[in-house]
Structures are given as C-alpha cells and as structure tokens.
Chain A
Amino acid sequence: MAVQHEKRVFGYPSSLTDAPFHYCPGCTHGIAHRLVAEAIDDLRLKEHTVGVASVGCSVFTYNYFNCDMQQASHGRAPAVATGIKRVSPETIVFTYQGDGDLASIGTAEIIHAAARGENITVIFINNTNFGMTGGQMAPTTLPGQKTTTTPLGRDVKKAGYPLRVCELLSALDGPAYLARVSLHSPKEVLRAKKAIRKAFETQVAGAGFSLVEVLSTCPTNWGLPPKKALEYLRDEVAKYYPLGEFRDGPREVEACSTR
C-alpha cells in the first residue's frame, strides 16, 4: 500500500497558550476564545496583535491568548485599546469584554470608541449576567430572568429594560462592522467564526470599528446543566437578541462646512 501524506485539517490554535481554561463546565467562553485565536492564526496576526483583557470572568484572558496583552480596569478596555492603537496603528488591537463590563460600567467607552470609528476589534460576550461576581443582574439580563439581584425575575418596571448593544451602536456612523452571533449549535459556532474573522479583517483593512456580540451561556449562574443552557441560549436569549449583521462596511459621511 502506498504511503499517504497526511494533511492537517484541525489542530490547536497557536494563538492560544496551553494553559487550561478556568471557566465553568459548559461555559462557552472557551469556544469564543478559540474562535478569536483561530481568526488571529488564519490571518497570521499573532506577532502583531495586542489584546486587552477586561474585568469579569474573562479577566484572565491574558493567560490564554498567546500574544501581547494589557489588562484594563472595569469597562475601560475600549479606551485602553484606543491608546494602544493610536501609538501603534500597525498593531492589531482587540478587546475581549463581557456584558457587565461593556454594557454596564463601560457604556461610555464603547459608544465613543464606536462613534470615533476607532480601528479596533471588540469581542463582546453577552451571557445576560455578571458571571464572575456570582450571577447578578446585568443590563443584558432578560425581562423576567432570575439573577441573584433580581431573585423574583427582572421586573422591567423596577429594573428597566435590557440594552441591545448592536442595535444601539448601529445608530452611529462610526462602526464599520457590527454582528451578533450565538454559540448554541455547531452551525452557529461556524457563523460566529466567520463574523469574528470578518471583524479582524475589517481592522486589517483599516476600515474602522468592528464589534461581534457573542451570545454565550452561563450554566452555573443560570442554574442549568450545559445542554439545557444551550437550549435557553437558543430559545430565549437569541430570541430577545436577534442574530445577524447590523453593519457591513464603513459609512461615508460628508463633512459639514467648517463654518
């Protein structure tokens, strides 16, 4: 029998370190990390990339991404990324932020980075609660959803309504790419992979601000086994937060006369 040359079709992304993830069983952070690392690998960006870790469950991303990293204070990752990008426009800068970080304390930073069309990539993990601190209500918590600070379910009359970040940012001229994806099935994971890659490509092309909102599970704080959590993600979360691309390509806006 003739010797067949083996072709590598799947492997461990070189943009991930070999440190084991600290995430809970069934949490989809690990998948999201891998998708980001694969995009960096595919585009051969590892040696030119600087990541910005945020505060939340993903606070330790600097242990997992095998590139230069900065740790930002709570919510400020887009501002930190702006500082890095302005100093080194040739580096690829991404932030990895949860919904407590980005959609609550960091709303000013994300809105203004997007409005500036800052040429950075934001990976936004929306799992509808503050995971690291023990499952409190986030701005993204669904109406009626139970958390430790909405023990009877989120009452919108008292706690208000969730923020839809992609829709919010799509009102701005600054963003070049905005997409919401979900990790509830292999098919959706593949779609997410494409979106994340596209976001990095947007930055490489110098087109401007890109953000991918990744709907993600939190089995521990949702009080659901991993499989049920995926179903909740599909049936409830992805229903409230419609999937799709909200911006695909930079907008041209004509300047007003100087006065």
Chain B
Amino acid sequence: MERKLMKGNEAVGEAAIAAGCRYFFGYPITPQNELPEYMARRLPEVGGTYLQAESEVSAINMVYGAAGAGARVMTSSSSPGISLKQEGLSYLAGAELPCVVVNMMRGGPGLGGIQPAQSDYFQATKGGGHGDYHLLVLAPAYVQELVDLVQEAFDLADKYRNPVMILGDGVLGQMMEPVAITKYIDPRDLPKKEWATTGASGRRPNLINSLYIDPVELAAHNRKLAAKYQRMCREEQRFQEYCLEDAETILVAYGVMARICRSVVDMARHSGLKWGLFRPISLYPFPGDALYDRAKEAGVRRVVTAELSCGQLIEDVRLALDGLVPTELLAYPGGLVPSPAEVFRQAKSERGALNGCSA
C-alpha cells in the first residue's frame, strides 16, 4: 500500500475525489486555502468542476443547486466563513440534500485569529442556522483518519440525505502525515438519485424545497427530520478509547486536542497515574452512551474535558454523564495550542487551572 506525505487540506481534496465528488465551490480563507487550490488543480483532471464563488454564502448555495441536481459536492471554509454558510446549511438540511462541508476551525469570535481552535463546536453540533436540524459532524484527529472520514462522509450524506460536516482545525489542515487512498469510486457507478432535479423527462417533475407553509405539513416534516436524527444517534456514534481499562481519570477530547491528550495519557502512565482517553469521533451524534458506560466503571474518579474552546464540548460530556462522576474543564481558547506537558500539569491539579465559564 503506497503511502504519500500529504497536507491535511490537500488530503481532503483527494479523498473527496476518491469518493466520487466532482464539484467543489470554494472561497479563500486561512487556514484551509490549500483545499480549494488543490481542487482547482485536480478536479479538471478527473472531469470535475471547481468554481470560486463570490462569497461563502454563494458557495453554499451553489452546493445546494449541485446537490439538488444529484451530484456529490463539497465546499470548505474556516470559522468566519462557516458562519456565513449557516443559512445555506439550514436550507440544505430542510430540503434534505446531501453534501459535505469542511470546517478547518480557527479562533473566534468575529474575525478572531487564524490559529487552530475548536470554538465552533456548538455551531457545528447544535444546528448552527435556524430551525430544528442537525448536521452529522465528524471530527478526525489524524490525516489518514481525515481521508477515511471524508470518504465515509459522502456515503453518510447520501444515506441520510443530510449535510455532513468534517470538523477539523488549523493543525489538521496544515499538517502533513502519510496517507494511503486505496479506493476510488467512479461517480457514474453511484446509485441514481431519483429525487434529483435533472429534467422531468418521462417522469413527474421533482421539487427540491424546504418551504412548508401549512403548519401541519411543517410539523410532519420536522417530525420526519427528528426521526432521521434519532436514527443517526442510534447508528452513527463513533469514538476511540485509549488506556481506559483501569482508568481513574478519563480525559475527553477530540481532534488535535485528543492527540495532545494521548501524549498526556502516556506521560501520566509513565508516572504511574491511571489515566485514559475517550475520543469522540462523531460529535453529532455525540457518543454519550459509550462515555457513560466507561465512566460507570468502579475506579473512575473524574472526567476531564480538554478543548480548544471555553466550555463547549464539556456540555455534551455532562449531558451524557448526567452527574455520574465529577467533571472538570481544561479550556484553551484563542489559538494557543497547549503542549502535552502543560495539559498534564494542569490536569494533575485537583481542579483544572483554566476552568472556563461553565465549569
């Protein structure tokens, strides 16, 4: 299996092409620019289309049109640009259109900064735009995992007819790691989407729509969506465990923060502390059932959430644990990525030194 050293952002592009994506609508913003640049270069080679939109707003609406026309389609941005896409994401979810959206997070609010952050957790997992909806959110921590999850994201988007978000951060987008892409799908081999607007030749017209002016119909539509999200919660919870068998302290972290915490667990084990890591891979649905089961083990004394934000992930952790064990927060906002040594030192103290507002 040939491995190639690839930047996270570029690996997303190649993985999308391998998944049969041939349409990408982009707009520049740091730290994800290598992805649209890669697609602009690579898509024409495989008969695809890259188009630079005039704004993130326009890009997500081009995605809407292309998804409605039945294609596998992608757009990407970083935090401020993802805010601009929220209206479009609400419409995509409402009209039940599949697509993949990549957010390589940077610090906010406002223009914020350009260094890695995880402060869009709420926006990504709780809806983001208006209305009762969810994106399916996947948070890779390694470039190979990023590749695998991008490919899976297209399948999940089609399975649920729902937008899927790849929630990365500046580190994941900018870093290089060896990757192998083994499976390439020809988009012509994908199942035909009977609902797509391709011209009503020999059939009744199709409609892509999120407008239900009759409240009875809108309620029914919302119930149908809710049932879909419940099915996601049953079938799509993903996570990884590290050294949890006998853990007394469980660290919970995702993305790059989970890698840092993996190093922290190694440090802790080295000094005789029984620590382990629970890494959510799907953020919506949050793998709360598994976390509860692990925390229920007799030896578990506390659960420490570490995040590059001020207390967002910890809300889902607390909802999942429902008061089972004490929880603590280690918050690192603003683009300052902590070293494992720093996290280890702070996690060792009885209460995390950087407790955020919700701790």
Contacts and interface: CB of A to CB of B under 8 A. Distances in A.
Q: Do A and B touch, yes or no (CB under 8 Å, in the complex)?
A: yes
Given A68-B197, A80-B68, A108-B55, A86 B209 contact: no
Interface stretch (A41-49, A140-148, A199-207, A243-251): A41-49
Interface residues of A, number: 33
Contact of A70 (B54, B64, B88): B64
Contacts of A65: 205
Contacts of A108: 54-55, 57-58
Given A62-B207, A71-B211, A112-B58, A84 B69 contact: yes
B66 A87 contact: yes
Interface in A46-87: 46-50, 52, 59, 62, 65-73, 76, 79-87
Contacts of A112: 53-54, 58
Contacts of B71: 87
Interface string B73-85: 1000000000000
B208 A69 contact: yes
B69 A88 contact: yes
A136 interface: no
A82 B49 CA distance: 11
A142 B88 CA distance: 32
A104 B207 CA distance: 26
Nearest to B70: A87
Contacts, number: 131
Interface in B294-312: none
A91 interface: yes
A131 to B, nearest CB: 16
A68 B207 contact: yes
A70 B211 CA distance: 11
A47 B61 contact: no
A83 B66 contact: yes
B202 interface: yes
Given A46-B200, A87-B23, A72 B205 contact: no
The secondary structure that dominates the A interface is helix
B240 interface: no
B188 to A, nearest CB: 13
Nearest to B72: A87
A72 to B, nearest CB: 7
A83 B64 contact: yes
Given A83-B25, A109-B58, A50 B67 contact: no
Interface string B36-75: 0000000000000101011101110111111111110100
B69 A50 contact: yes
A83 B75 CA distance: 12
Contacts of A66: 200, 205
B155 to A, nearest CB: 19
A62 B51 CA distance: 27
B215 interface: no
Interface string A226-238: 0000000000000
B58 A79 contact: yes
Interface in B302-359: none
Given A88-B198, A91-B198, A72 B55 contact: no
Contacts of A76: 57-58, 61, 64, 88
Interface in B205-225: 205-211
Interface in A176-210: none
Contact of B62 (A47, A48, A71, A82): A82
A50 B206 CA distance: 9
A83 B210 contact: no
Contacts of A83: 23, 25, 61-69, 73
B152 to A, nearest CB: 22
A80 B201 contact: no
B67 to A, nearest CB: 7
A70 B58 contact: no
Contact of B69 (A59, A73, A87, A109): A87
Contacts of B62: 79-80, 82-83, 86
A142 B55 CA distance: 30
B87 interface: yes
B61 A68 contact: no
Contacts of B25: 83
B114 interface: no
Nearest 4 pairs of A and B residues by beta carbon: A83-B65, A79-B61, A83-B66, A68-B197
22 contacts: A49-B199, A66-B200, A67-B199, A68-B205, A69-B206, A70-B209, A71-B210, A71-B211, A72-B65, A73-B91, A79-B57, A79-B58, A80-B61, A80-B68, A82-B62, A83-B65, A84-B69, A84-B197, A87-B71, A108-B55, A108-B57, A112-B58
Given A49-B199, A50-B69, A68-B205, 7 more contacts: A71-B209, A73-B64, A79-B59, A80-B65, A83-B61, A83-B65, A109-B57
Interface of A: 46-50, 52, 59, 62, 65-73, 76, 79-88, 91, 108-109, 111-112
